[in-house]
Every structure is written in C-alpha cells, then in structure tokens.
Amino acid sequence: MSPQTTFTVDPWGIAEHGLDLGGQARAESVFALSNGHIGLRGNLDEGEPHGLPGTYLNGVFELRPLPYAEGGYGYPESGQSVINVTNGKIIRLLVDDEPFDLRYGELRHHQRRLDFREGLLRRDAEWTSPAGRTVKVSSTRLVSLTQRAIAAVDYRVTAVDGPIRVVLQSELVANEQLPGGAEADPRAAAVLEAPLVAEARMAAGTKAVLVHRTRYSGQRVAVGMDHLIEGPEGFHVTAECAEDQGRVSVTTVLHPGEELRLTKFTAYGWSATRSLPAVRDQVEAALTAARYTGWNGLVAEQREFLKDFWETSDIQIDGDVELQQAVRFALFHVLQAGARSEERAIPAKGLTGPGYDGHSFWDTETFVLPVLTYCLPDAVKQALRWRHTTLPLARERAAQLGLAGAVFPWRTIRGEECSGYWPAGTAAFHIGADIAVAAVRYVRATGDVEFEKAYGLELLVETARMWRSLGHHDAAGRFRIEGVTGPDEYSAVADNNVFTNLMAQTNLRAAAEAAARHQTVAAALGVDTEETAAWRDAARAMYIPYDEKLGVHPQADGFTDHQLWDFDATPPEKYPLLLHYPYFDLYRKQVVKQADLVLAMQVRGDAFTDEQKARNFAYYERLTVRDSSLSACTQAVIAAEVGQLDLAYDYTAEAALMDLHDLGGNTKDGLHMASLAGACLALVAGFGGLRDHGDQLSFRPRLPAGLRRLAFAMKIRGTLLHVEITHTRTTYTLRRGSSLNLLHEGEPLRVEPGRPASRPMAVPETPERCLQPPGREPARRQQQSGPAVGSGAEPPHLAAE
C-alpha cells in the first residue's frame, strides 16, 4: 500500500482499512495520541508487530555524550534524548493458548480510525487463529485532554465460535526492546537502551504501579494502571509485577456471542525533584480520579473539549476534500502537542515519535505558536513560561559566549544547548528574537498584561541585551549583526542575515516599548533610560543589505555574489543535499534549504515594498530546494501575496500532506509539527492574507481556482472573529465579544456584533509562474471531488526539518 492509498479521505478523521505491516511505523505516527504531557504512538494493543514502539512524557530524557573529533571552547558537553518510558498500552490476548498476533492465522478484517471530533482511536479486527478459532476484537484508546495524567483504553473480545478460553494480559513494560540498527541519517533519534532503573513496584487486585529513575538525568517516572472488568460469571483475575513489568491477567471461557470487556486506566507522572512516595502517590491519585470519572465520563469530557475547540478554531475548505482532511489532521495534532504541555517545550515532533531526539527548536515559536495564539492561547502562555524557566541557563550560555543577556538554545529539551554542530546551533541567534516576537504576539492577541509584566518583559529585556552586545555600529552608523546563521541551514555564519536583523529590530523595539509601559518592573531588571535608548538606536540603524544591481535583497551580505549551485548536475537521488554533499560546499554556493529571506517577508512584510516582495520571491524560488519541511508553508504564504495563487495552492498541499503522504520519507520517526502548523498558516496567512505584526490585524484575501470557499475563526482579545472568503466576497462576523477594528486591503474596518461586514474580493494581477530548481517543483494540485485518495504526481522526496 502506498502512502497515497493507505488512508481513506474523510474530512473529520483518518481511517486505515487492512493492515500494512511494512508501513506500520508511519501509521503509528499518524495514529499517535497525545495531550502535550503524555504521548502514545499508535502501536497495536498487543504490542507486536510494531514499527517503532513509543510512549513519551514531555520533558523526560536521558543524557548522552556529544563526541567531538576536536573540542572547542563553548561546545556543549552532553546532549539530551527523549526516551521510551514505561509502556502502558499493551493488552495481550491469548485464544486457547495462541497469542493474538496478526502475522499468524487469518486476519479477516482490520480497521483503525482516528476521529478528530472525539479524540478517540478506534480499532476493529476479526481474526482466526492457526487452530481455527475466530474472535472479534475492538478497542478504543484515548489520551485525556482534560485529565492530564490519564490515558485509557476500552478493550473488548467477542467469541465468534467456540467455546474458547481467552486470557487478557494487561501490562506495564519498562525498558522494552527497541528496533536496532544504526541510522545513517543524522535526523534520526539516538537509540538509548534500558534507560530506566527500577525503584519500586506494586501489584494487587486489578492494579499495578512501577516507579523508575533515569540512569543519568535523574528523573523519576511513575506509571500505574487499574482496570474495570465485565464478562461472563466466573472470570479469574491475578496481578503480579517484576522490576520492569506489571501485569494484570484476566481469564474466562467465552461461548459464541459472549464478550469480555476490559477498561484500562493508565496514569503517568514524573519529577526531577519530588520524592518517590510523592510521585507514586500522584499517579495513584490520578487513577482514583479516572476510575471515579469512568470510561464514559472520560469520553464525554474529551468530546466536549474538542467540540469547543472545533467551534472556535476550525478551518473550513470547500473544493478539496483531501486538503480539508489534511488541515483538520494538522490542527488536531498541533492541539495535541500543546494542549497540556504546561511549562514544557513543544518538541518538533510533538510526542508522536523520537525524531530529532525529542528536541524543541525555533520551529515552535515561528510556526506552531502563531497558530495556537488564535485558537488555544493558554498553550502559548505555557510554552513561553517554559522558555522563561530556562532563562538562568540562557544567561549562563550568553556569559560563556561573552555576550550580555540570554542566548537560548537552538535545540533542547530542558534548556541546555544540545547541538554539537555550532555553525547551525550556536550561531542561530535568531531563536532569541523568535521567542521575543512570539511573546509580543501573544500579549497583543490576548491583552494579557499580567503575563507581559511577569514573564514577557524579562524575555524581551534579556534578548534585547543579547542583540545589543552581539551587534555593533559600523563607521557609517549602521547596526550590524555578523557571524550568524539564519533559518536557511545551507548558509551558515554569515553577516547581516536579513531575517535575523529584521527580527532583532522587532525585538529591540518591543523591549524598549514594554520597558516604557512597565517602568517599575523594568527598573527591577536593571533597565534604565540609557539602555532603552541604545536599543532604539540599534533598531533605527539596523542594516538591511540590498543588491542594487539585481534589485533584490541578498539573504545575507554577499549571498547574491556567491556561485550558483549546479542544479542541472544534481540528480534527484542526491536530495536532500545535506546527506550527499559537504557543508563547506553548500555554504559557499547560492542554494537554499528552506525559506529564509522569503520568511523575513512574511514576518516583517512592512520592511519590503510590494515590488521588492515579487522580485525577491522570484529570485529565491529558483534557488530553494525545500530539503526542509519548514519551507513549503512559507513559500505558500508569499506566493499568495504576490499573486501566484496556483503555486501557493501547490505549496499549501505539500505542507499539509507532509505526513499523510510521507513526503519526507521519515514520518515513521514522528509527525512534523511545524509543517502541520505551517499548513494552517498557508491557508490563513496565505489565502486569508492575515498579517499580525502591526497594532491591528490586517487581511488581504485571495483564493486559488481550486478552492471555492475558505473560512476560519480566530480568538482575539476576548472576541471570536469568523472570516469567510469566496471568489466574490469576504465576510467578517463577530461571534463573540463587543467590537473589533481591523484592516481589509489596507482600509480600516470595524466589525460589530450582529452586523457582519462584507467586502468584495480584489482581483490581483496574475504574474508568470515562478520557476524552481529542476526536479524540485511542487506537485501540481488537482481539485479533489471524491472519496478516493490521490493528487497526481508526488513532489520530489523531501528531507524533514
């Protein structure tokens, strides 16, 4: 089964009919359930066969050494890798002593479905054992969005013929065996064997609890399970445990039509500081609360939570049912990644797989948080509060590098820099401004002044101090920031990267303005008028390179003077380039891994004229190879802005289908949260024309020919704005709140409750379609009108980032 035919197209869910054993790892990522605290890959209930087993707790990791052929001052000494914690998903079934294993016997029917409105993963199977006994198995799994520590499964087995003797073994398994084999791809996670050391265990009745501690990072993990059992009279229950295993077994005899039902509640907790009794008791308390709520209660809470989410956050598309499914898939998983993270990072893969060692990057602030700001703002607040908790580490890192303020890590779990490659890691200073801008956006969108005073101001001050010490005024008075790496990882340690300088400029201005608003708090942080004046001076004098001869902005100083990469001599199998060519060659050529200057035009569109945007976009289109999943969504946004709507449509579909079609070939390691969030940005900021870097939201709506209608909702300062776009009109409706001022096509517009405001659609000029490097064109999007999956030719193989 190919990626295009594995999953059926349904606007409100993902279904898999049959079982593709070769594609199990990809399906496990797609069917993953999470709430931002717990992450369960979509492994089969019985545990085997599997592609990659995975159970993750946000913030739980193990330390590993970072080897260097030659050491250097300031190099990080150790890395952090997410670990597969105790697996509580496993429910093994034996039918007359034969294990329910889909590799044996006859699988008569198998279906899995993830429903976005319910937040439930359902599975139905009918299987005949090698001995000829047939059973029906159904399970429904959830990770609670309302009870943070809880996952649960409703498991039922029904005898089709018989009588048959069945045994259910519900287990907790720590240090489970992971697939072996060295990975040549540096993007894959490091595999850490047996990272958990047993500390305590208990089993009694229908309950079991295991407590472990990570070997080197010193984090205590407790997992408990409890059960409700329904079946024919006379079933027998036993409980037992060992250091790395807890098991509750249920056995009975089923006659044809009889059912044995097991409801399993699993609770997870961890801490780096609390005692063993405290962590264990937390888990037992969570189990008590879950049993009190009951299975039906957990399901009802889940549905109610998601009902509110979709009523206020849905993105609706008419004209492309596959894209509709993909964008709801994206929203659902972005929601899962941040819903209950609660002062923890949102990793690049969420909690769906071990890709990138479970690290959080700048992706979160630049792609994920802009989406969550307008649909789940509390998640943004929690993510930024996590960044605030890491400020002491960021200050230490800045001091180590000889800088003032705070230097945040390029990749991390707990707050320390975990990148062993400093040109891409340490030199990517823009992460500081990415965090600052995310904080400014959150405050502007919510009006949360208390957050700004308690957390946001300090983030702004410390990042502004870093920029002021990193950059300098040259002889001409221009403020320069040199020796940095921007978003494009095929260009490193460059001078005056435009994206970096513009983001730093925003950061410096915002810090000065926030300090003026909260003078007492700023004074407590040591800020005085001289320092804020220096920030304003640096912002005013910020140097933005421009190539007068070509009429475009170079990505950084001298970039447009570099030799062009020989795209014609680069065969398709040599992409992604980073896996086939040395970095020194990439760094000195005009070739772009991911949108960099184009991203600058999205986040700081006010710094470019419309003519400059069109010329810049055309210039960088022919250099950008999209060896990163972060690129297509940004190219979609700017393609729409410059009038290339069909190209924008193609890029939007690529971003949205990154995982459902496994375009990067590595969905098995986890979903691409930034690309999923980016697909939402491509629709709302691209075709909706939303820009939020000013005091008011502004919209310049456009629709490609393949879409008939686009509608979305946004939470803004206590209001709920609904925007509906067709090829003839755009209508703004205030569904909650008093009134809202915004800009439509640059003109002020006030939206009042009960009085939708409608404006005719502007018809932009349609320029000639831009060209991409040979073989790197996005797939042309075809209109999707039926239930079958498929969108024509797939785009070239992409590397994920």
Q: How far apart are CA 143 and CA 131, in angstroms?
A: 35
Neighbouring C-alpha atoms within 13 Å toward the C-beta of 559: 33
Residue 735 exposed, middle or buried by CB count within 10 Å (0-12, 13-18, 19+): middle
Contact (Cβ atoms closer than 8 angstroms) between residue 583 and residue 423? yes
Please indicate whether residue 365 is annotated as part of the active site: no
CA distances from 748 to 542, 734, 755 (A): 30, 16, 16
CB atoms within 10 A of CB 749: 17
CB atoms within 10 A of CB 123: 20
Phi, psi (5° rounding) for residue 469?
-85, -25
Q: How far apart are CA 143 and CA 33, in angstroms?
A: 6
Q: How far apart are CA 388 and CA 384, in angstroms?
A: 6
Residue 310 annotated in ligand binding: no
Q: Which member of 489, 621, 641, 777 is catalytic?
A: 489
Contact (Cβ atoms closer than 8 angstroms) between residue 749 and residue 599? no
The three-state DSSP-derived secondary structure of 373-438 is: HCCCHHHHHHHHHHHHHCHHHHHHHHHHCCCCCCCCCCCECCCCCCCCCCCCCCCCCHHHHHHHHH
Contact (Cβ atoms closer than 8 angstroms) between residue 246 and residue 170? no
3-state secondary structure of 732: strand
Considering just the CA atoms, what is the radius of gyration of the chain in Å?
A: 27
Residue 138 exposed, middle or buried by CB count within 10 Å (0-12, 13-18, 19+): middle
**Helices 529-540 and 498-517: angle between axes, nearest 10 degrees:** 150
Cβ-Cβ contacts under 8 Å for 767 (sequence gap 6 or more):
614, 642, 643, 644
The sign of the CA dihedral 255, 257, 258, 261 is positive
Residue 593 annotated in ligand binding: yes
Residue 363 annotated in ligand binding: yes
Q: In what order do the strands lie in the sheet with 709-716?
A: 315-318, 709-716, 719-726, 729-736, 757-760
**Closest residue by Cα to residue 60 from 198, 269, 219, 176:** 219
Place of tokens 């209608």: 709
Q: How far apart are CA 440 and CA 455, in angstroms?
A: 11
Cβ-Cβ contacts under 8 Å for 86 (sequence gap 6 or more):
55, 172, 173, 174, 196, 210, 212, 221, 223, 268
Contact (Cβ atoms closer than 8 angstroms) between residue 629 and residue 798? yes
Q: How far apart are CA 619 and CA 621, in angstroms?
A: 6
- Strand locations in 160-310, DSSP E? 164-173, 196-204, 207-214, 220-230, 236-242, 245-254, 259-271
**Helices 377-389 and 457-470: angle between axes, nearest 10 degrees:** 50
Residue 270 annotated in ligand binding: no
The sign of the CA dihedral 176, 177, 179, 185 is positive
Q: Could you report how far apart the first and last alpha carbons of the chain are, in Å? A: 25
For every residue of 443-501, DSSP letters joined together read HHHH--HHHIIIIIHHHHHHHHHHHHHH-EE-TTS-EE--SB--S-TTS-SBSS-HHHH
The sign of the CA dihedral 384, 386, 389, 395 is negative
- What DSSP element (H or E) covers 614? helix 610-621
- Residues designated as active site: 489
Residues contributing to the annotated binding site for substrate: 362-363, 593-594
User: Annotated binding residues, as ranges?
Assistant: 362-363, 593-594
